[in-house]
Homo-oligomer: A and B are copies of this chain.
């Protein structure tokens, strides 16, 4: 399994991904799921991958191959990020089709998050489905997730809005990732974190946080304490304030 997410705020973009891949519980490996393409300070594109590793690797290989070749059909020459999303969708579908007949239980599905900025167009985020179509992040829903997304979603729903600073959005992505790792062992470290400051044309430094990274441990500890404090501040349910009221319910 995998968990990747990206958040779009006014200040820029945040990308986070775990690095665990598995085929069953006895075949676990570490692969980066974060891939970047940059060009002369004028374009920065980050691709996060989930799903079948053979498919996502094949798509990435083709993207790099096309880029080396140059021409119009490559990330460094496309004028819009939606074209990149479309192109990834096509490559992904083509790759999946090659292996579709293998057997019914087998799935070559892969999903992608594509985000970044090209020239003077605003920063954007897209989620490319296994079917090759895609959606973009919006003001109402300024984040996108792929893979094992449920555990880490509530914190995003409660905190994320476009006016968050890039730095707070990055913390939010890390907490969402950490919550998922705690609840699902198929999502695992190192966590990769990348930010993009709007109109900078280049990614900021990528952070790779191993399980015992001092910052990650400190973040986890501070979050745990913060949650406990938040709990302490919650009002008690009315009927639970001691002494407990004992009432007869239906007696069978």
Between A152, A154, A166, the greatest number of chain B beta carbons within 10 A of the residue's beta carbon is seen for A154
**Interface mask (A206-249 → B, CB under 8 Å = 1, otherwise 0):** 11000000010011001111111111011111111110111111
Contacting pair A234 B245 (CB below 8 A)? no
Cα–Cα, bound, A234→B225 (Å):
10
Chain A, 85-139, CB within 8 A of any chain B CB: none
Contacting pair A234 B154 (CB below 8 A)? no
Q: How many copies does the complex hold?
A: 2
**Interface mask (A29-63 → B, CB under 8 Å = 1, otherwise 0):** 00000001111100000000000000000000000
Contacting pair A157 B182 (CB below 8 A)? yes
Q: A interface vs B, CB < 8 Å?
A: 36-40, 64, 67-68, 75-76, 150-155, 157-159, 166-168, 170-172, 174-175, 179-180, 182-183, 193, 195, 197, 200, 202-207, 215, 218-219, 222-231, 233-242, 244-252
Those 8 A-B pairs whose CB atoms lie nearest each other, nearest first: A226-B230, A150-B150, A154-B179, A205-B239, A67-B252, A167-B240, A204-B244, A205-B247
